[in-house]
Amino acid sequence: MSTDSGQLREGRPFDPYGAHRDDPYSFLAGVGDAEPVFYAPLLGAWCVTRREDMVAVLRDDRSFSARDHNPRPAVALPEDVSRMFRTWRGSDAVAVGSLDPPEHARIRDVLNAGFTPARVRAFEPAIRGIATDLVERAAVAEEFDVISAFAVPYALEVICRRLGVPDEYLDRCRTWSEQRIELMMLQRDADPDRLRENARGLMDFGEFARSIARERLASPRDDLISELLHDGKAGQTLTADEVSVQIPTLIFAGHMTCAEALGTILYQQLRSPGGWAEVVDGKIDTRDLVEEGLRFDSPLAGMYRTATRDVVVGDVHLAEGSRLLLLYGAAGRDSRAHACPAAFSPGSRSATHLAFGHGIHFCLGAGFARAELEIAVQAIAARLPGLTLAPGQRPHHRPVFPLRALTELRVRH
């Protein structure tokens, strides 16, 4: 029997920034069986927990828009900060993840050409070189934080190298990405001067992206930015303005989700009964390990959509304009799709997941990310076969929902 959204508007106290930050899954499992689509007042959105309902939404581009797919600040920003936050990209062009048809297809087709299987294979030696160098540097210490010493710098250097961002900008790209997170995911009032500093950082990020796009338009190199401007699919290319808008998103999404996934994969395998030895000995295939990590705790816990007309999701009637949060992480724990969803067990099941989304907005860099994660695991296993968790590890997650980011992960070898 279907239900009208007005009857359920009081909602459920889902708080992934606070009470449910480290373990959202226990709460979602308890609620989702009885109420697979529920309203979360703290998020201002209808949370969708069943895989089949998410897939249905992601396939229906007419009824659901991706235009407002990012989280919104929960508190009002100062007027000048809000203005900078709206305009830092510097043009009317929109990042591909926020585009709806028909504009989406042209941009995505060109971007896809940069991440074909052949392009990924050609770049794999560079990825291996970065992984080998960074794990060697991290291994100098007997105990270290694998997130800050390896996962984050590795993922950042890989995507920036593919794009063609000079190494001297790596630290700034990391800072700019963090400033974007602080503004986009702001949950409470903050120091206005800090907010202005973050907003000015984003303005610098936008100017950097426009500048490097103009440089590659005039003098192309062997990198993705140049390919988008000069070597598009079937003769199609993007303008410098269109490319500049995509650059921050490619940097932001390209390194943060990969670093987060790597942290989860390492933590879950290191704490499993077989430990790291199963990876070193080849008992667990690196591909199976990566896919299970993505299923077990998706690095992107969810993505927002907006209903463009009155719709029914699950059995709930939602009005036009309703904001939905598709909980990709919950899809990986859906008991209707997995026999033992709360068990981390690489290779023992079909690790189907929505970590890369679905439909027209399926992550265009999914193949690249999979190769990147597998190569990282292989490099760590080769250099650090005795890897273990440091004593007393109780990892916690940063309050940056819908990202799933460990604050640190200390290991020994």
- Condensed to tens digits (0 to 9), the pLDDT of residues 46-87 reads 999 999 999 999 999 999 999 999 999 999 999 999 999 999
3-state helix, strand, coil in the chain (%, to 5): 50, 10, 40
Domains assigned to the chain: 3-412 (1.10.630.10)
Average pLDDT of the segment spanning 189-215: 96
pTM for the predicted model, two decimal places = 0.94
Give per-residue pLDDT as tens, 138-170. 999 999 999 999 999 999 999 999 999 999 999
Give per-residue pLDDT as tens, 363-379. 999 999 999 999 999 99
- Confidence band for 1, pLDDT divided at 50, 70 and 90: very low
Q: Report the relative pairing of strands 410-412 and 323-326 from DSSP bridges.
A: unpaired
The answer for residues whose C-beta is within 8 angstroms of residue 90's C-beta and 6 or more apart is 206, 207, 210, 241, 244, 245
pLDDT of residue 337: 75
Among 218-222, 257-261, 342-346, where is mean pLDDT lowest?
342-346
Q: Where are the beta strands (DSSP E) in 288-364?
A: 303-307, 311-313, 316-318, 323-326
pLDDT of residue 340: 81
pLDDT of residue 5: 58
pLDDT of residue 2: 55
Average pLDDT, the chain: 93
Average pLDDT of the segment spanning 301-318: 96
DSSP character at residue 390: P
Residue 30 identity (one-letter amino acid): G
- The continuous run of DSSP H or E covering 4 comes out as strand 3-4
Q: Where are the beta strands (DSSP E) in 134-182?
A: 143-145
d(CA 284, CA 264): 16
d(CA 410, CA 395): 9
Six-digit token pair at 99? 């585009």
